[in-house]
């Protein structure tokens, strides 16, 4: 078995910044409610004509990660791409990145695990490195969510939360015996009985796109994302600590050993709850939802990249990634950086 090492990270967000105040133009909401309930102050949204798509932003983030890893697209053996907002119904966005970067005809795998997408994607890439099948894998999380939101007051419980953006990392085989950098373990879960508590039902196989243009009921808004906020919140505050403790226990570690916990940026109150529950200090946890909102599969690689750029992660640190979201799905990656 080989070790897997993160050798480069990058992030990309669209230029347009949407402050809470701007949202009051579209719906009945206010800055105080959004800050108090979610911690969010602003988010980045794509703008018509700016050319940003889920795949193009993923490619932009990947280019930075590659440069920092000292690699070129020709060195990459595989792409794992996590998103809930692919450019197309099919094919997935991974193949578009393969083309945009000019990689060889390497495999491109899309992961559909929403907010847990990046944790699942990294776990998947790690297996291919550990077994020796591949040497360098691009792991990408990218989302364009703003274009699918209900910006009326009806959709305010969701619309104020989500942001657009992308993050990427290069995972490489670590053959240096003296270098202990490694993905120590990953822990993944799902509970499909709650699939409809956080979902976008339409279009899909059950209600194909043509139904939307032929006799769609005027009062049916299931083509917008739906979230049972309180219900999701209650599960999140249980599953986050569970996934983190499962990972720590598997490696004989404790919350005090963590140098930086990077939770999926779902809600600042959820992260604060998790921090308190695990008895962790402020400097042990990364929060940047204030600036980006919830960017779903992109939130962890964006936060990871920003933490690294701010000097909050150095080689040898114990970094823990954890996520919970639609599915329900949840999980953690325990990383010796
Ligand atoms: O990333 C994947 C996982 N996602 C999560 O983990 C998110 C989990 N859930 C949450 O973060 C929170 O439930 C929300 C932020 C979505 C909502 O916060 P909440 O404290 O649970 O609020 P609520 O849904 O219970 O709504 C409280 C009140 C309601 O009004 P009434 O019925 O008390 O009069 C809502 O209509 O706040 C109202 N409300 C708003 N008011 C102003 C809901 N959205 C808004 C809004 N602006 N944007």
Number of CB atoms found within 10 A of residue 207's CB: 15
* Mutation to probe ligand 1, out of 229, 239, 287, 296 (largest number of atoms < 8 A from CB): 229
Find the mean pLDDT for residues 282-296: 98
Domains 3-174 and 182-336 share a fold: yes
Boundaries of every domain in the chain: 3-174, 182-336
- CB-based contact 119:323 (threshold 8 Å): yes
pLDDT in tens, 199-251: 999 999 999 999 999 989 999 999 999 999 999 999 999 999 999 999 999 99
Tell me which residue has its CA closest to atom 25 in ligand 1: 230
Using pLDDT thresholds of 50, 70 and 90, give the confidence band for residue 71: very high
* pLDDT for the residue 215: 87
Q: Which residues pair with 262 in a beta bridge?
A: 321
- CB-based contact 107:138 (threshold 8 Å): no
Tell me which residue has its CA closest to atom 38 in ligand 1: 157
- The answer to whether residue 294 is catalytic is yes
Catalytic residue among 113, 200, 264, 267: 264
CATH of domain 182-336: 3.40.47.10
- The answer to whether residue 252 is catalytic is no
* Mutation to probe ligand 1, out of 26, 41, 157 (largest number of atoms < 8 A from CB): 157
- The answer to whether residue 251 is catalytic is no
- CB-based contact 292:146 (threshold 8 Å): no
Q: How far is the CA of 161 from the centre of ligand 1 (A)?
A: 9
CA dist 182 and 173 (Å) reads 9
Whether 297 lines ligand 1, by a CB cut-off of 6 Å, is: no
pTM for this model (two decimals): 0.98
Find the mean pLDDT for residues 251-262: 98
Ligand 1 atom at minimum distance from 236 CA:
6
CATH of domain 3-174: 3.40.47.10
pLDDT in tens, 7-18: 999 999 999 999
CA distances from 291 to 82, 158, 294, 301 (A): 21, 17, 9, 15
């Amino acid at each position: 078995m080989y070790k897997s090492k993160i050798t480069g990270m990058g992030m990309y967000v669209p230029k347009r910044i949407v402050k809470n105040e701007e949202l009051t133009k579209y719906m009945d909401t206010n800055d105080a409610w959004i800050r108090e309930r979610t911690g969010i102050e602003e988010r980045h949204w794509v703008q018509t004509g700016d050319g940003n798509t889920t795949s193009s932003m993923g490619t932009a983030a990947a280019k930075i990660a590659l440069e920092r890893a000292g690699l070129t697209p020709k060195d990459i053996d595989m792409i794992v791409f996590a998103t809930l907002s692919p450019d197309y119904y099919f094919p997935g966005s991974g193949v578009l990145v393969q083309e945009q970067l000019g990689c060889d005809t390497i495999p491109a795998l899309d992961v559909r695990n929403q907010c847990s997408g990046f944790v699942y994607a990294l776990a998947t890439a790690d297996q291919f490195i550990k077994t020796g099948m591949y040497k360098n894998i691009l792991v990408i999380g990218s989302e364009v969510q703003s274009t699918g939101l209900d910006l009326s007051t009806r959709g305010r419980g969701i619309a104020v939360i989500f942001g657009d953006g992308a993050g990427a990392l290069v995972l490489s085989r670590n053959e240096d015996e003296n270098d202990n950098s490694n993905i120590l373990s990953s822990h993944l879960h799902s509970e499909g009985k709650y699939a409809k508590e956080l979902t976008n039902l339409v279009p899909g196989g059950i209600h194909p796109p043509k139904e939307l243009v032929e006799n769609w009921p005027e009062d049916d808004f299931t083509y917008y994302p739906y979230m049972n906020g309180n219900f999701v919140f209650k599960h999140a505050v249980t599953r986050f600590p569970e996934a983190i403790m499962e990972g720590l226990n598997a490696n004989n570690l404790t919350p005090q050993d963590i140098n930086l916990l990077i939770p999926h940026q779902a809600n600042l109150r959820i992260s604060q709850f998790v921090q308190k529950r695990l008895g962790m200090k402020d400097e042990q946890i990364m929060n940047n939802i204030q600036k980006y909102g919830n960017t779903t599969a992109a939130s962890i690689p964006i936060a990871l990249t920003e933490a690294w750029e701010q000097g909050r992660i150095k080689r040898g640190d114990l970094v823990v990634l954890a996520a919970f979201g639609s599915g329900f799905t949840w999980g953690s990656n325990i990383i010796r950086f």
